[in-house]
């Protein structure tokens, strides 16, 4: 395991532990009801209880790299192919963030398609490439990994506005605080 994989695994463990302490069970999602995943532990009429599972397919974002002829940061590769899990609600310095995760093999293919679209848009706008990692409460902002520097940034897609949140993805993940409802 490298630093990014270890930090993501540690965050996921902290997230699941926070759910158990607060709710007496693992993470729960209404949004994922009815979507097959190896993460599903059980479900009720409103949602699914889930736990992370090892990534079971060939790791990496090769399809993205081939589609737009780019080499992505190793941290981006590791972030999206360390585990299957539900998205995680976290905060950084009081800012609510939804950390994106791949839920299943089908979801991994969808994520790659969305990454291709994101990178193609940036290329058309002559912006430096980023790989999205999370959403925020502001629909106009996302958290991304700079493909040039490896920094984690807050960006407004389609604009040049970028704020550095952490110098590395591993550090960013280690700073996140789970939010449990």
Q: What is the pLDDT of residue 1?
A: 82
Q: Where are the domains of the chain?
A: 3-178
Closest CA to 33 of 25, 20, 24, 44: 44
| DSSP structure class, residue 23 | H
pTM for the model stands at 0.94
Fold of domain 3-178: SMI1/KNR4-like (3.40.1580)
Confidence of residue 44 (pLDDT cuts 50, 70, 90): very high
Confidence of residue 60 (pLDDT cuts 50, 70, 90): confident
* 43 three-state secondary structure: strand
Structure tokens at 153: 């940034």
Cα dist. 179→17, 70, 129, 154 in Å? 11, 35, 29, 19
pLDDT tens track for 80-91: 999 999 999 999
pLDDT tens track for 113-144: 999 999 999 999 999 999 999 999 999 999 99
- Give percent of the chain with pLDDT exceeding 90: 93
Q: What is the pLDDT of residue 59?
A: 80
Closest CA to 8 of 109, 145, 111: 145
The mean-pLDDT minimum among 2-6, 82-86, 159-163 falls in: 159-163
**Which residue spans within 47-141 are E strands per DSSP?**
48-50, 53-54, 83-84, 88-92, 95-99, 130-136
């Amino acid at each position: 395991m490298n630093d990014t994989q270890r930090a993501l695994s540690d965050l996921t463990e902290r997230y699941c532990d926070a759910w158990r302490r607060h709710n007496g069970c693992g993470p729960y999602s209404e949004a994922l009801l009815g979507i097959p995943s190896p993460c599903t532990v059980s479900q009720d009429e409103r949602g699914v209880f889930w736990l992370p599972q090892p990534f079971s397919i060939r790791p990496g974002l090769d399809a993205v790299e081939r589609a737009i002829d780019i080499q992505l940061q190793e941290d981006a590769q590791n972030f999206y192919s360390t585990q299957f899990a539900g998205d995680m609600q976290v905060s950084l310095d009081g800012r609510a963030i939804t950390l994106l995760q791949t839920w299943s093999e089908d979801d991994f293919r969808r994520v790659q398609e969305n990454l291709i679209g994101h990178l193609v848009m940036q290329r058309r706008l002559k912006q430096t490439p980023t790989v999205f990692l999370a959403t925020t409460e502001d629909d106009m902002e996302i958290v991304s990994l700079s493909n040039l520097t490896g920094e984690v940034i807050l960006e407004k897609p389609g604009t040049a506005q970028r704020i550095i949140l952490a110098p590395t993805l591993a550090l960013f993940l280690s700073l996140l605080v789970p939010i449990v409802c």
